[in-house]
Structure 1
Amino acid sequence: MARNGSVRVSRSGDGEPEDSRDRISELPDSILHLILVLVPLVDAARTCVLSRRWRGFWKRLPLLFFDDVQAPRVSRFPDLVDGVLRGYADDVDMGDLFVSVYRRDSVDDPVGFVATLADLAAQRISGRFVLYLSPAAFNLHPEEFLKNLYPDPEDDAEEEEAGDGAVHHLHGVDLGMPTTEMFAKLTKLFISGVRFTDGGEELSQVVSLCCPCIKRLELHRISGLRWLTVFAQSLVSMVLSRILVLEQLLVAAENLRHMLVDKCFVLSNTRAFMFLCVPALEQLLWEDRCPEVIRHWMLPSCLRSLVVAELELNYLIGAGGRSNFPRILQLFKCVDTLRLEFPNAQDRTDQESLIENVNLPCYSELEFMVNHTGHRFGPTILNLLRKCSCVKKVMLQMFGREVGYIPCASNCNCRQLSVWTDKAINLDSLECVAMYEFRATQDERSFIYYIMRNAKRLRKVSILFSLGANPTRRVFHKLCKLSASSGCTVDCYSH
């Protein structure tokens, strides 16, 4: 600043102001691309009028984001999308493609719009393909009914993570998959909230024949999907959640490592069938009915983790009262860690069936998610341990009783005292027991006392008392006495 208070402006040698040069146009292409993806695509396309340097520059953007709300001056939104995709540069792969439709008047034919869009993107996309059609804009199937039928509080928090390869994400529309195109670079396929009108034939064809590089498949809240066939050598992870009416599932994937099946067969009215050929499977989470017919060709010699969860009561009622998940356990004879969620059955007959039919021959670690359903859990778990001769570690996560809790009858087999003196229960391999949310109820005390008396190699017992639990001195005295006699260490914690 000059002494008289005026601002001094530096000038270059030619007499022109130094800042008058077009510094933005001199930036590298990669930086300009990052700048243009931050503005609405319509405005990015209009930069072509600035100079020859900008002509066609938008046709090479690494991310194309179409939003009918951000493009209010466009008379026909589908024409905008179609024109941009068809005008995209031929010598580069299309990066990430996001299309969001919120207004009811933006698209006249949503089914045709989805089909055309998928066909255009199939050959070109190399990043993520995300299509969102708002339920407020398209009332194509009873979305609110589906949400009320199986609400999921985590839905709002779900986001598809970015990664290498392509992601295909469709939401909220009747869907016809483009089976004539090859998704040559697609590695992740995520479909949620759609309805298939062909039972799933096109989806099976796309996954099995048109996606040679697919690694991750996730299907959530799918309507009309009755038959699913997955033949994919590259597939590593598969999640099937809340399909409800699935009748036939065929999976042949030699590199599949992780598989989740959650409420897919619960409302099927026919004889459900499942075929598995998954020799590399490491983790399986099953929270569903068990299909009536199961065939398998190649299964892993040993799973790393198997989680079998009992269905909620409302699904059991819809499924005739039985989930039959013990049959899933019988498929996998050797598992490093088995976790059973809600192993107590609702009905006495089912409880006896659970105890008698489940075999656990080769599990080194067992985890139980114990919910008080009216039965005492201790006898059930001990009878399961009796059938597992090599378990070394047992973990129990206790849950509180639900509102309206009604205990089972006094003559129920779970309340017979003979189990506590049953000499046939061999716990010689057991080394560690952990109980979480321990409230020191009679059932819980009887179970832990029995373990400490009869597990000859027991070395450590960990107990985490639930919030508000108030164990008596007699409980601590009993634990100390058993610890001294068995030689194991007892660690007690509180919230």
Structure 2
Amino acid sequence: MESRLGGRCRPGAQPPRGPHRRCGGGGDGDGVDRISGLNDDLLIQVLVRLRSAAAAARTSVLSRRWRGLWRHLPELSFRRVAPDALQVALAQVAIPKLNLLHIDYPFHRSRLSAEAVASLLRPAARLDPVDLSIVAMADGTDEPIAVEVPSFARATSIRLHVLNLHLTPPAQGGDFPVLEMLSIVASGFDIGPLISRCSCLRVLEVVAYDRVVHTITVHSVTIEELLVTGDGWLRGLDIVAPMLKKFTLRESVDKDFVMSLFAPKVENLSWSCSVCFYPETVVIDASGMWRLDILKLETQESGFVLSLHNSATHTRNLQEMFQLPNISVLELKVKTSNGVESTEDL
């Protein structure tokens, strides 16, 4: 009978001792554990496919042969692991650099202290992964706690979804030289200085959950795709991105919102903005100009479609708020507060 490793088993032969033997028998019922007989590199490839560091660690109960192998995995994913246990696990990682590090502590499970969330960044920086993702929520406070983001020299993709924290760029000299994709969800961030450290950034996702009115500045000569969304009161957008091709904006904007847009190559737009009037009482000017409630701009096959929902009056016009790109074909849809909708080709 041929073994799966290419050897031949003699009838009645005793199974080998050591790492090749396992109580409970093998797949052929001969007591041989052929998987544990594989070399470390192959066993590590098996553990990688579990997509869970905790599951990989639990394989130690199968055999002493598997014990501690998870520490050599190039890809580690932790989900719902308590911060203290996670710190212990990260300290045991035996390889100096990781290909992937994903930490997911679901928002609905419970919130962590701001210090606990911030402490996840330090071992992550030490392991310097190519692909980094940290999803966690800190306890809410009146003022989000400022947390410095370490530099990651090898990272090509970073996803930081850390609500109730204010993210600040690394200290002077901390760069992200090969970073191509950056996704930030936070209650505050210094995105402009952070982007200036990213010389290869192509995709940027900024999600703001902050009731404080703020301005987002994006100046980059490499960004090709930009997504700005969230549940804040956006006061302004300052975009200088000569290579930008796709721009998505879904955000509540302040009544004094101003956009500055330089993106000569943009060809795919999707905007959906609701205008926040705070405080709720709005003084209506006697000039009779309309107030913008919702603006939508989308790219379609025939050109650009601009949809406006307006009611009452306001003292600002559209061009003061939104800087539109160069448009050759534009369809305008206007819906008033009494439900009347009109469409014009411009």
- Which residue of 1 is the match for residue 32 of structure 2? 21
Q: Which amino acid aligns with 2:166?
A: L
- Return closer, same or farther for 1:20/1:78 CA change in 2, 3 Å cut-off: same
SS in 2 for 1:23: coil
* 2:99 aligned residue: 94
Shift of 1:218: 1.9
Residues 159-308 of structure 1 correspond to what in structure 2 (within 5 A)? 165-177=156-168, 179-180=170-171, 181-192=174-185, 194-196=186-188, 200-201=189-190, 203-209=191-197, 211-223=198-210, 224=212, 226-242=214-230, 244-266=232-254, 273-288=258-273
Query: Greater RCO between the two (CA within 8 Å, min separation 6)?
Result: 2
Distance 1:338 1:103, change over 3 A: closer
Tell me, yes or no, if structure 1 residue 345 matches structure 2 residue 310: yes
1:104-136 deviations in whole A, cap 9, x for unaligned? 5x84xx222222322432461222403133xxx
Query: Paired residue for 2:80?
Result: 67
CA drift of 1:313 comes to: 8.9
**In the aligned structure 2, how far is the partner of 1:318 from the partner of 1:244?**
19
Distance 2:167 2:180 in 1: 20
Determine what percentage of the aligned residue pairs are the same residue.
19
Distance change (3 Å), C-alpha of 1:48 and 1:86: farther
- Structure-1 separation of matches of 2:215 and 2:329: 35
1:121 matched residue in structure 2: 124
Structure 1 or 2, whichever has the larger Rg, is 1
* Cα distance change on mapping 1:313 and 1:187 into 2, 3 Å: closer
Which string of whole-angstrom CA distances, capped at 9 and with x for unpartnered residues, describes residues 331-354 of structure 1? xxxx97120213x63247889x78
Letter paired with 1:87: Q
Deviations 1:17-60 (CA, angstroms, capped at 9, x unpaired): 6632222224524542245435735x617729944664444331
State the Cα distance separating 1:238 from its structure 2 match.
1.3
**1:213-235 CA distance string (max 9 Å, x none):** 33222223421462332233332
Distance 1:140 1:185, change over 3 A: farther
Give the distance between the partners of 1:374 and 1:276, measured in 2 at CA: 33
The yes-or-no answer on 1:373 pairing with 2:342 is: no
Q: 1:205 and 1:48 mapped to 2: Cα distance?
A: 48
Cα-Cα RMSD: 4.4
The one-letter code sitting in structure 1 at the alignment partner of 2:51 is: V
Tell me how far 1:90 sits from its aligned partner. 3.5
Q: Cα distance, 1:254 vs. partner?
A: 2.5
What's the counterpart of residue 5 of structure 1? none
CA offset digits 1:306-338 (Å, max 9, x no partner): xxxxx4797896777733999x99xxxxx9712
Once residues 52 and 372 of structure 1 are traced to their aligned partners in structure 2, the CA distance between those partners, rounded to angstroms, is 72
Give the partner amino acid of 1:280.
K
User: SS of the residue aligned with 2:338?
Assistant: coil
Using the size of structure 2 for normalisation, the TM-score is: 0.65
In structure 2, stretches of 5+ residues that fail to align are 1-8, 16-27, 144-154, 284-289
CA 205–165 in structure 1, closer or farther in 2 if over 3 Å, else same: same
Q: Which amino acid aligns with 2:310?
A: A
- Aligned amino acid, residue 138 of structure 1: D
Distance 1:341 1:247, change over 3 A: closer
Runs of 4+ in 1 over 6 A off after TM superposition: 312-321, 348-351
More strand by share: 2
Cα separation, 2, equivalents of 1:363 and 1:103: 47
Q: For the Cα contact (< 8 Å) 2:243–2:263, is it kept in 1?
A: yes
Equivalenced residue count is 293
- Whether the aligned pair in 2 keeps the contact of 1:345 and 1:373 (CA below 8 Å) is yes
1:114 aligned counterpart, secondary structure: helix
Distance 1:93 1:313, change over 3 A: closer
Q: Deviations over 1:389-423 (max 9, x none)?
A: xxxxxxxxxxxxxxxxxxxxxxxxxxxxxxxxxxx
Q: Would the alpha carbon gap of residues 64 and 16 (structure 1) be closer, same or farther in structure 2, given more than 3 Å must change?
A: same
Distance 2:292 2:255 in 1: 12
Alpha-carbon distance in structure 1 between the residues aligned to 2:34 and 2:84: 34
- 2:100·2:130 contact (CA, 8 Å) conserved in 1? yes
Check the 8 A contact 1:256/1:280 in 2, yes or no.
Answer: yes
Alpha-carbon contact 1:64-1:97 (below 8 Å) kept: yes
Determine which structure has the larger helix proportion and give its number: 1
8 Å contact kept, 2:135–2:162: yes
1:341·1:370 contact (CA, 8 Å) conserved in 2?
yes
For residues 236 and 339 of structure 1, the distance between their equivalents in structure 2, rounded to whole angstroms, comes to: 22
- Kept after mapping to 2: 8 A contact 1:48/1:55: no
Residue 85 (structure 2) aligns with: 80
* CA shift in 2, pair 1:345/1:79, >3 Å: closer
How far off is 1:259 after superposition? 1.4
Q: Distance in 2 between matches of 1:313 and 1:92?
A: 46
CA distance in 2 between counterparts of 1:61 and 1:132 reads 22
What secondary structure, in the 3-state scheme, does the structure 2 residue paired with 1:112 have?
A: helix
Q: Give the SS at the match of 2:304.
A: strand
